[in-house]
Structure 1
Amino acid sequence: MTHSKKEMRKAYLARLQQLDQNTRLREQHRLAQKLYDLPQWTNAKTVALTMSQSFELDTAPLILHARHEGKRVLVPRTLPKRQMEFVQIDEDTEFEETGFGVLEPLAGKVLQPQEIDLIVVPGVAFTADGKRLGFGGGYYDRYLANYLGQTVSLALTTQLADAAEWPVEDHDVMIGQVVNLEQE
């Protein structure tokens, strides 16, 4: 049965916020290990991640791991008209909190889409075949429409959805691979 994206977003966000901390930590660790084993990650020299919010899969360990492996790490910065860009970060990067409650870099080198090897795309819910329910702003769909590199999303068990739960629209961009724990 198909529901509106707004209804599904609300339901999946509630599920995410209700997930107990021990389960979240255990699943995050297992998903991270699966990510690190992917050729998309292993071969990437430049990786774009997000600065996660408290209810999302914690990306801080992924960022640290990427930097430890010598990868160039980028995070998004929002722009007017629901656009975004990816900015290189390091240990000296200063951040500010946006109106969305997300940390964004104040300064740093902006890289073009063709300079990014892998984007780890966040979302509220995912299907195993690559459908993504985002947060409703369309920032990632707009960016990914002009991106030809690899995309991966990590789905906690509570974020894995059935294929027909929400309508897919023309502007929705599919994710190259959704890493989840049901694949084990």
Structure 2
Amino acid sequence: MLKAELRKKYMQKRKALSTDEAFLLSEEILKRFLSYFNPEAGQKIHIFIPIEKLNEINTGIFIDAFLAENIRVFVPKIVGDQLISVEIDRDTVYETSSWGISEPISNADSGIHHFDYVITPLLYCDQQGNRVGYGKGFYDGFFQNISPASKKIGVNYFSPDEKIDDVWKNDIPLDYLVTPVEILSFFNGAE
């Protein structure tokens, strides 16, 4: 299927989830992430803050779990036409952006280019790790500027069952996908 078709289909599927269903599925995704990757104190995790009106994965529970374990947490912020990475802690002050995303007030880019994990938003991911987002390209640009050793991990309520037919040469695939029922690796055994 084409990205535009998949974007529409999976946006509708996501919006059909109740608040309770989305929260329970988010908890399952967090449990799978923690048990598989076992992040440790001092590691650096870049993670998105959800757009609640779009029923995105509840990453607030991820952030709380990471901060409780003294894991360094970074979140994206769009400044101009670029995605920067802002380090947060329990005292971070937020504001709502024009996208409806809670973002840190600070515009201070952390300057970090190596993250242990980059937890990435998406609407759909296929069996090869190709991602369908909102079509703005912010994460592809971000991926080009971080260390190749940073593990790019998509999180989604749904497992992949359809191929993306219009993958572009500048699209950067994910390394893993975590769903409520499975973790997929896209390294083809070459980790």
SS in 1 for 2:92: coil
**Residue 97 of structure 2 aligns with which residue?**
98
User: Where in structure 1 are there 5+ consecutive unaligned residues?
Assistant: none
Q: Deviations over 1:55-98 (max 9, x none)?
A: 101000000000001001110111223x1111011122111211
Q: CA shift at 1:112, angstroms?
A: 2.8
Matches within 5 A, 1:19-58: 19-39=17-37, 41-42=39-40, 45-54=43-52, 55-58=55-58
Is the deviation greater in 18-27 or in 130-139? 18-27
Distance in 2 separating the partners of 1:129 and 1:64: 30
**Residue 187 of structure 2 aligns with which residue?**
none
- 8 Å CA contact 1:154–1:180 kept in 2: the answer is yes
Is the deviation greater in 108-117 or in 97-106? 108-117
User: Where in structure 2 are there 5+ consecutive unaligned residues?
Assistant: 184-191
Distance in 2 separating the partners of 1:129 and 1:165: 9
Change (3 A) 1:13 1:117: same
Matched, 1:130 2:146: no
Distance in 2 separating the partners of 1:132 and 1:44: 28
Q: CA shift at 1:26, angstroms?
A: 2.4
The size of the alignment, in residue pairs, is 179
Change (3 A) 1:98 1:125: same
Q: CA shift at 1:163, angstroms?
A: 4.3
Q: CA shift at 1:137, angstroms?
A: 0.9
Is the deviation greater in 140-149 or in 54-63? 140-149
Q: CA shift at 1:143, angstroms?
A: 0.5
Change (3 A) 1:8 1:163: closer
Please report the TM-score for the alignment, with normalisation by the length of structure 2. 0.84
- 8 Å CA contact 1:153–1:179 kept in 2: the answer is yes
Aligned sequence identity (%) = 21
SS in 1 for 2:39: helix
